[in-house]
Structure 1
């Protein structure tokens, strides 16, 4: 059971750093070769490669004023996922999406992140 506890704590820590804008904290949770893939066709879509790019992506997403509401931390035998409800408003444009951010772990750190969205079209309209 301890590996599940460690994965759960890693999810809590990742979300806490993201919500607080602690970019150095996020960096400490990532392997050097970490990646983050997001769907869509907008300024935050595609794959960020390397820990510094992953942190830059998190920073860019947060710069749009998102509120990252943590719904659940889900653990598998070897990995972890965050179930989130992200909301934000920029002028007349609103973001209101549910998502799952799946983190593949290696040696106690996040090696890759893949985000699944409920509203890719809404994300495309918001992140311009």
Structure 2
């Protein structure tokens, strides 16, 4: 089944608005139960998050660290949608300022896989550490 650009945009906005507003029910409505989310690096948030609960836990941790998410663009693929973001946060002298692409693969009207690409992997390794939140 072909996913229309309208459905892709709706899913992207459910994911993003769920993240921004900590509306985990809204985010969950865009995800399959077995969704995966990978994030590069060695930080507290890096690696795979498997399942909707793990994806929501990761999203909640991002918010707990004070990450502000600015949407630059929504980009459309054949069976995917990508969010071009600018994420910022600060803690003491530590600054997080990076560009992010989150690619969401879609099947049957839901996000089945999320892959994050970062402009500064070392920056997230320094910023997202145990014992801070």
Query: TM over 0.5, yes or no?
Result: yes
Distance (whole Å) between structure 1 residues aligned to residue 72 and residue 10 of structure 2: 15
- Cα drift, residue 2 of structure 1: 7.1
Deviating beyond 4 angstroms after TM superposition, the runs of 4 or more aligned structure 1 residues are none
- What's the RMSD between the two structures over aligned residues? 1.3
User: Where does structure 1 lack aligned partners over 5 or more consecutive residues?
Assistant: none
Distance (whole Å) between structure 2 residues aligned to residue 49 and residue 9 of structure 1: 22
Residue 21 of structure 1 pairs with residue 13 of structure 2: no
How far does the alpha carbon of each residue in 1:12-62 deviate from its partner, in whole angstroms, 9 at most, with x for none? 221111111111211111101000000000100000011111111111111
21-30 or 47-56, larger mean C-alpha shift: 21-30
Distance (whole Å) between structure 1 residues aligned to residue 58 and residue 68 of structure 2: 16
TM-score between the two structures when normalised by the length of structure 2: 0.92
Identify if the C-alpha distance between structure 1 residues 58 and 2 changes in structure 2 by more than 3 Å, giving closer, same or farther: closer
**Could you say which residue in structure 2 is the equivalent of 1:38?**
39
Matches within 5 A, 1:1-128: 3-128=4-129
TM-score between the two structures when normalised by the length of structure 1: 0.96
Distance (whole Å) between structure 2 residues aligned to residue 63 and residue 27 of structure 1: 18
C-alpha contact 2:75 2:84 (8 A) present in aligned 1: yes
Aligned length: 128
Distance (whole Å) between structure 2 residues aligned to residue 13 and residue 22 of structure 1: 9
User: Where does structure 2 lack aligned partners over 5 or more consecutive residues?
Assistant: none
